[in-house]
Amino acid sequence: MKKNVILLKIENNGLIIISAILALIYWHVESLHLGAVSTRAITFSFFIVYGVFTQYFINSNKRMATEISTLSMTDHLTGLYNRRGFMTLAEQHLKMAERTKRGVLLLLFADLDHMKSINDKLGHEKGDKALIEVASILKEVFRESDIIARVGGDEFAILGIGATINAWGGLESRLQQQIDIHNALENRDYMISLSVGVAYSNLDDNNPIDEMMSRADKLMYKHKQSKLQ
């Protein structure tokens, strides 16, 4: 991200440098006392060149700004949204859904079980691999239109857009199926297991995202505790 900021500054200053160079060249041409036609042709060419460079730098700056914004909302390990990205997009979708008065929002909170044990016994590289694998499983289960994020060390959140009140039944089955497929792969030295909590928000209730996350988090914790009994 720091590198992108530096490049952005270089491109901003680059337009000033190009302007200065063109001004110096034009000043030199003027001193040659060329004919009026030649001077106008050269002046016109300078305007074209300046316009091309200006558009290039404008587009480059917009592209760089977009990349920086994307990086600030993305988890570098899994490629999912981070907590900031999740909250930003979730709030936007909630407001949009409230205006249209359509559908139910499903918010799922998931925690990778035994993460500490994986790190302690197998090393943090394996722990990172497990988190990447969970991200892959979630992307296989949920739709591209859903918001999938890693919101903490081993915690994930998914906002299902336009879900139904009975959506979790089918999703739970698909999630477990994908987990089983991954766990059945050969040469594994750890197993994937998720504790999950799910909260719904009927749009008429006007529940904010953070309140839904709190309810889903509590249910996820209960699920994790039930596995220890």
92 and 66 in a common domain: no
98 and 118 in a common domain: yes
Greatest mean pLDDT among 21-25, 48-52, 75-79:
75-79
Q: Band of the pLDDT at 1, cuts 50, 70, 90? A: very low
127 and 48 in a common domain: no
Q: Contact at 8 Å (CB) between 176 and 108? A: no
* pLDDT 10s digits, 155-213: 999 998 776 667 777 888 999 999 999 999 988 999 999 999 998 876 555 667 888 88
Q: Contact at 8 Å (CB) between 163 and 106? A: yes
Looking at residues 105-120, what average pLDDT do you find? 92
Query: What would the two tokens of residue 182 be?
Result: 């991954």
d(CA 23, CA 59) in angstroms, rounded, equals 23
Q: Contact at 8 Å (CB) between 148 and 138? A: yes
- Asked if residue 77 belongs to a domain, the reply is no
213 and 186 in a common domain: yes
Report the domain count for the chain. 2
91 and 120 in a common domain: yes
Q: Band of the pLDDT at 27, cuts 50, 70, 90? A: low
186 and 133 in a common domain: yes
Q: What is the pLDDT of residue 50?
A: 62
66 and 27 in a common domain: yes
221 and 139 in a common domain: yes
* pLDDT 10s digits, 117-169: 999 999 999 999 999 999 999 999 998 889 999 998 899 999 987 766 677 77
202 and 107 in a common domain: yes
7 and 45 in a common domain: yes
219 and 162 in a common domain: yes
Return the CATH number at 149.
3.30.70.270
Q: Which domain holds residue 25?
A: 2-72
Does the pLDDT of residue 20 top 70, yes or no? Answer: no
- Asked if residue 78 belongs to a domain, the reply is no
